[in-house]
Amino acid sequence: MQRFALPTATAVASMLVLSSTGAAHAQQFPSKPIRLVVPLAPGGPSDILARSMAQALSPSVGQAVVVDNRTGAGGTIGIDIAAKSPPDGYTMLLVAVATYTINANLYSKLPYDARKDLTPVSILAGAPYILTVHPSLPVHSLKDLIALAKARPKDLNYGSGGTGTGPQMAMELLKIKTGMSIVHIAYKGTGPALSEQMGGQVQVGLFNMIAALPVVQSGKLRAVAVSGAQRSPALPSVPTLDEAGARGFEEVGGHMIMVPGATPKEIIARLHRELMKALQAPDVLTRLKNEGAEVVGNTPEEAVAIVRRDLKKWADVIRRTGIPLE
């Protein structure tokens, strides 16, 4: 029978020292400013949420939380910077769940391992997508849109903020569920796509609530359905896609905080506690409510499970739709 040597007194003492060092480090954290990387340009939903969270976090942790916008390559540059940062809690990443999980399947050569190099701390908040049509289109329900798309195959088109974005992939998933044939037109951002739909250049859109709500409320676009599990308080008369006939369809554009994968659990736990406090700050809650978003604030374990689920889901959608890998 194989025997294992018992640890010496010196070895036991060393292990105790290492354990206590980790705990002490967590207690002292943070002792310098924290960087919050946003892989998109200022002014968008991710950046707005990041700045609200940074402002609420700073007093609680006793250090400045600095938003660092690192744009390029569909978010890859900023994500890679965060992934390669020291795993000490002083660099966090705020990224859309869809951006992270779709990029992992859409880009064949990423400079980081999406399944190992970063880990979620929490999904902070989520906002559903709004299925919109131009007011000139004779469509007032999902059934109307399905019927029109089947009567005029390849004649209808929808706009998005770009190939591989969360709304575009959600629309492709909706097409699979309903059998609709609608052509995708990609724009360089949600703003241009919304403008083109308002101008009638594209008839259909599926946009994040935060971006599309003001346009719908102004009457420039008509809301057909929302993609959440429940109706949005911001649009209580608009049914969910599940209610409208796409049974089981639920897609929410969530934003999460991630840290390098090797970050100690004690540091992750501290960051999670502080993030949960910040989510309850009146300014943060008011902004989220006004934008049609809702607080999620789940645990690291719950966030990890959602990320793993979405990595598999978008791999399947990309395979079924034939969207080319980049």
Same fold, 33-126+253-321 and 128-244: yes
Nearby residues of 7 by Cβ (< 8 Å), 6 or more positions away:
15
Q: What is the pLDDT of residues 9-32, one digit of tens each?
A: 444 444 444 444 445 555 689 999
Tokens of 261: 């994968």
Q: What is the pLDDT of residues 154-202, one digit of tens each?
A: 899 999 988 888 999 999 999 999 999 999 999 888 889 999 999 999 9
For residues 280-291, give the mean pLDDT: 88
Contacts 24+ apart (CB under 8 A), 147-152: 149/180, 149/181, 149/182, 150/179, 150/180, 150/181
Which residue, 68, 165, 125, 123, is CA-closest to 256? Answer: 123
For residues 284-288, give the mean pLDDT: 88
The CATH architecture that domain 33-126+253-321 belongs to is 3-Layer(aba) Sandwich (3.40)
pLDDT of residue 153: 82
Classify each residue of 288-325 as buried b or exposed e, where b means 16 or more C-beta atoms within 10 Å of its C-beta. beebbbbbbbbebeebeebbeebbebbeebbeeeebee
Q: Has this prediction a pTM greater than 0.75?
A: yes
Most confident range (mean pLDDT) of 53-62, 69-78, 149-158, 287-296 is 53-62
Alpha carbon distance 90, 267 (integer Å): 10
Alpha carbon distance 165, 102 (integer Å): 7
Read off the DSSP letter of residue 75.
G
Out of 3.40.50.300, 3.40.190.10, 3.30.950.10, 3.90.1420.10, the CATH code matching 128-244 is: 3.40.190.10
Tokens of 65: 């939380």
**What does residue 183 show for φ and ψ, rounded to 5 degrees?**
-80, 135
pLDDT of residue 266: 97
pLDDT higher than threshold 80 for residue 115: yes
Task: With H, G, I as helix, E, B as strand and everything else as coil, classify residue 72.
Answer: coil
What mean pLDDT, rounded, does the chain reach?
A: 89
pLDDT of residue 12: 45
pLDDT of residue 4: 34
pLDDT category at 300 given cuts 50, 70, 90 is: very high
Q: Where are the domains of the chain?
A: 33-126+253-321, 128-244
pLDDT category at 7 given cuts 50, 70, 90 is: very low
pLDDT of residue 23: 53
pLDDT of residue 21: 46
Which residue, 308, 265, 277, 270, is CA-closest to 124? Answer: 277
Read off the DSSP letter of residue 240.
B
pLDDT of residue 26: 59
pLDDT of residue 196: 95
Q: What is the pLDDT of residues 26-51, one digit of tens each?
A: 568 999 999 999 998 887 778 888 99
Between 72-76, 177-181, 262-266, the lowest mean confidence (pLDDT) is in 72-76
